[in-house]
Amino acid sequence: MQNAVNWEELGIEANQDRRREARVALAIPIEVTGFDLHGKFFTELTNTIDISESGCGFSLKRGVERGGIVAIKVAMKDRQKKVHRPFLYQVARAIPDGSRWMIGAAKLQPESIWLLTFPKTSSTAPAVE
């Protein structure tokens, strides 16, 4: 005899955030450089939707391949007027959303692009370094 599926419980479990770390909703201007789905090189200015210690979410006008590599650079100058260098990220998620693509990317370098100290729990805001 088969067990009945509890669809309500399954739906709740499926909608839970399974990320290993907290993401902070923060719009930071970034410049994304890489190759689109047609193999054409692009550079696009956009903003982050959320960030974490090891990744970020943002939207692009162009689609990029899941597993592809993009270079991301903070697109603003800091107080000392120095330009931030690009960091390499791997595209973990690329989902079409109307005329844009929602992108989730994971960093490939140990250094952090963000000038923030991330909280241990999602209940506190990040501190600016």
On whether residue 81 sits in a domain, the answer given is yes
- Strands (E) in the chain, as ranges, are 24-25, 29-35, 41-51, 55-60, 69-74, 87-97, 100-107, 116-117, 127-128
The CATH code of the domain that includes 27 is 2.40.10.220
Structural domain contains residue 6: no
What global pTM score does this model have?
Answer: 0.74
86: nearest Cα among 36, 43, 129: 43
Residue 27 lies in a domain: yes
Looking up tokens 């994971």 gives: 106
Residue 2 lies in a domain: no
User: What's the structural domain count of the chain?
Assistant: 1
Q: Looking at the predicted structure, is the pLDDT value of residue 103 above 70?
A: yes
Nearest to 61 by CA among 46, 75, 73: 46
Q: What residue numbers bound the domain in which 74 lies?
A: 20-128
Residue 107 forms part of a structural domain: yes
Residue 14, phi then psi, degrees to nearest 5:
-65, -30
Residue 8 domain-assigned (yes or no):
no
Helices and strands: H and E segment counts in the chain: 1, 9
Report pLDDT for 111.
87
Structural domain contains residue 4: no
Helix (H/G/I), strand (E/B), else coil: 92? strand
What distance in Å separates the CA atoms of residue 116 and residue 36, rounded to the nearest whole number? Answer: 30
Residue 53 in domain:
yes
Confidence class for position 112, pLDDT limits 50, 70, 90: confident
Instruction: Give the tens place of pLDDT for each residue, 50-65.
Output: 999 899 999 999 999 9
Asked whether 116 and 129 are in contact (CB, 8 A), the reply is yes
Residue 116 has pLDDT above 80, yes or no: no
